[in-house]
Amino acid sequence: MAETVYDLAIIGAGVMGLFTADFACRRGARVLLLDEWR
């Protein structure tokens, strides 16, 4: 199995999580965004 390396892991894809992920991605970070599915 291949290993993927992320610069940032964000738990919670609410407003702040999405904003932070977008902000980091636009600056070149590799972001892992996790959220609970209900």
Q: Whole-model pTM?
A: 0.82
Q: Each residue of 1-38: pLDDT tens digit?
A: 899 999 999 999 999 999 999 999 999 999 999 999 87
Candidates 26, 31, 24; CA nearest to 9 is 31
Residue pair 38/14 in contact by the 8 Å Cβ criterion: no
Residue linked to tokens 């894809």: 13
The domain containing residue 2 runs over which residues? 1-38
Q: Which amino acid is at 9?
A: A
Domains of the chain: total: 1
